[in-house]
Chain A
Amino acid sequence: MALLEVSNLDVRFALRQGEVKALRDVSFTLDRGERLGIVGESGAGKSVAAFTILNLIARPGYIAGGSIRFDDRELTTMKPRQLQQIRGNKISMIFQDPMMTLNPVLTIGEQMVECLKAHRRIRTRAAREIALNKLRQVHIPSPEKRLDQYPHELSGGMRQRIIIAIALLLDPDIIVADEPTTALDVTIQAEIMSLLLELCEKHNVALVLITHDLGVVSQVTQRTLVMYAGRVIEQGPTREIINDAQHPYTQGLINALPQMATPGSRLNQIPGAMPTLAKIPPGCAFHPRCSFAFNDDGSPRRDCREVIPGFVRSGNCDVACHMVRDLVENDSDARDPVEIQEAP
């Protein structure tokens, strides 16, 4: 049985102008020690998915349906007290911007020790020892000094390491990392990512990595979920998704990578933009932008326009696309071979 099982998750936001569906029918699983990536553009719902796992969605958002089972316990209906015991303890989170994530008026030590004390009966001295230990694991020099320093006295890279250390304090089963390197300098990004990878491998911690960066996903994760307008449209082994994406959107994403463009010509773009959650097109949300969703005379294919595509197994991936379904049903091997060059 999987460590984390998300089934048919439905998250909505009750806004003044009406209700908006941020997540629609999202399902995925996570095994112990497995590393899963969730990719998509901004607004696709990746962060919402991450926050919902720990039920951190604040009003006006709410879970409208579905289930999240962690270790065979249902998280969506759990009382706040019990949820508190899981947060930071069994499932930890890492946020995007390390400067905003740490409380500016409390020392690092206070922010680490309180985490330990919230979940265990432990004295401050012992807690500090554990904290120091974790700081060493994330390769922070002179950890004793850091405990008494304030966040603003440290660099961005160091802060993110400390946040990773905090995430590891109670030896969690899962770390959910929401764009952990986006706010960092490019040079630091690689360091932090490899640190995260190293620690997850070493301690057999499962990782849910949310990012828009396909490069990172390809290096770190074993499986990947692609999201679009609040739905999962493709999921499978990362290697297969990167090398042989089947959903037109995923193909578009990969083609849009600068490495994919021929030098001297324009970058490949997916025409149009992802719709705002308030104005999702009927049927397949991607169809207005999809070259496969139109007949030769320019009219949209009926099922693309009217029917939300369900998942279809193709290779080791699950793809939500009518065209792919047709191809699979016709047992055709004539998938558009997408020439993907290995990134240098």
Chain B
Amino acid sequence: MIAFLIKRLFHALLVMFVISVVSFAIQDNLGDPIQQMVGQSVPESERAELREELGLNDPFLVQYLRFAENALHFDFGYSYFYNEPTTDVIMRHLPATLELVFATTLLIILLSVPIGVYSAIRPRAWLSRLFMGVSIVGISIPVFLTAIVLIQIFAIGIHVSLFPADTAWGAWLNDLLSTSGGMPAYGRGDVTHVFGTWDTNFASLSRLTYLVLPAISLASIMLPLFIRLIRAEMMEVLQSEYIKFAKAKGISMRRIYFLHALKNTMLPVITVGGVQIGTLVAYTILTETVFQWPGVGLMFLDAIQRSDIPLIVTYLMVVGLIFVITNTLVDLIYGLVNPTVKLTGKPA
């Protein structure tokens, strides 16, 4: 167990190191703190002096070490735009993103497992085929487009007039398919303060509505993947000898599906799921843009537009840290759940 943790720690440090070097290289080449600090009117000679004072002419390695040391103290400098420590800016925006991701993950788990299992047990049922068909369409729609469509349908409302409105059935169908919108689609709305920088949407049902459309959009990309994955894995597992044996022992089908089969199915799903965290972060940026959700994704995008280098760099470091932590956690969970893996990392 210890050996496993040390190995993962080493790997994590390696990744963080690479990210920090890349981040620093970006900062070094793109940012000009002098420019931001003192503006245009200061003469060149004074700037040169300032450069020397701030150690900006030191060799790369020295500057990097300084950067790294500061990084370990969580000091990444000041944002050009906000004029406050970048870590503060990020902490202000982080809770919004975390809540969004949490809601999305919840949705994914609650929907993909039952649908995936059902599609595996009854692959020929029309419902299963429907799910599979919708999945493939879901993969083909980029997340921002899903968001836009959802906004159109549920926030703005659509008026269907496909069917002849002068007939009763036509009018009824038109009515059925039309929506009047009304779901909030901009920002977080009213939030309740919890502590520190954490404001939440979860405090009341009406505040929760702001999370609905963004969370559904974000989930719409991952859901097809997980549903197909669970279905494929489960179908394969159901062909195993040990399932046949369990049947031969007279075990109830319910127990066979939900214990014997599911436990074996979820193992590879955990692994793949963990890897998807990275994609989720990217998609979060897109979703936050559409809904103007004030999370770190939107913050990052604004920072790019404003060439706010320190903020960009800090964001990269934070994101890198999140990746590394979640990947390690996923590996850990997998090692604990799968009895055939001893946690030295080698299979038994």
Contacts and interface: CB of A to CB of B under 8 A. Distances in A.
Chains A and B come from one and the same complex: yes
Given A100-B240, A100-B241, A150-B339, A114 B251 contact: yes
Contacts of B253: 80
Main SS at interface, chain B: helix
Contacts of A106: 259-260, 263
Interface string A94-113: 01010011111111000000
Contacts of A77: none
A119 B247 CA distance: 13
Contacts, number: 75
Residues of B in contact with A, size category: 20 to 34
Contacts of A105: 263-264, 267, 338-340
A329 to B, nearest CB: 44
A87 B240 contact: no
Nearest to B249: A88
Given A104-B264, A105-B264, A114-B255, A87 B249 contact: yes
Contacts of A133: none
Nearest to A99: B241
Interface string A210-230: 000000000000000000000
Contacts of A85: 250
A269 interface: no
A56 B244 contact: yes
A64 to B, nearest CB: 21
B236 to A, nearest CB: 13
A17 to B, nearest CB: 20
Interface string B231-253: 00000000011101111111111
A110 to B, nearest CB: 9
B120 to A, nearest CB: 14
B348 interface: yes
Given A103-B260, A105-B339, A106-B263, A88 B251 contact: yes
Contacts of A89: 250
Interface in A144-162: 150, 152-153
Given A95-B244, A100-B241, A101-B245, A84 B250 contact: yes
B343 to A, nearest CB: 14
A80 B340 CA distance: 33
Residues of A in contact with B, size category: 20 to 34
Nearest to A104: B340
Given A150-B339, A152-B348, A102 B248 contact: no
A48 interface: no
A115 B250 contact: yes
A93 B245 contact: yes
Main SS at interface, chain A: mixed
A127 B241 CA distance: 24
Given A114-B255, A153-B348, A100 B242 contact: yes
Interface in B46-92: none
B340 A150 contact: yes
Quick one: which of B241, B246, B248 has the most chain A CB within 10 A?
B248
Contact of A118 (B240, B245, B251): B251
Contact of A166 (B240, B244, B249): B249
A56 B247 contact: yes
A180 to B, nearest CB: 13
A101 B250 contact: no
A89 B247 CA distance: 12
Nearest to A105: B263
B248 A56 contact: yes
Quick one: which of B242, B245, B249, B260 has the most chain A CB within 10 A?
B249
Quick one: which of A56, A88, A166 has the most chain B CB within 10 A?
A88
26 contacts: A56-B248, A58-B244, A80-B253, A84-B251, A87-B249, A87-B250, A88-B249, A89-B250, A93-B248, A95-B244, A95-B248, A97-B241, A100-B241, A103-B242, A103-B246, A104-B242, A104-B264, A105-B267, A105-B338, A105-B340, A106-B263, A114-B251, A114-B255, A118-B255, A152-B339, A152-B348
Given A104-B340, A106-B259, A114-B251, 18 more contacts: A54-B248, A56-B244, A58-B244, A84-B250, A84-B251, A84-B252, A87-B248, A87-B249, A87-B250, A88-B251, A100-B241, A101-B242, A103-B246, A103-B264, A105-B267, A114-B249, A118-B249, A118-B250
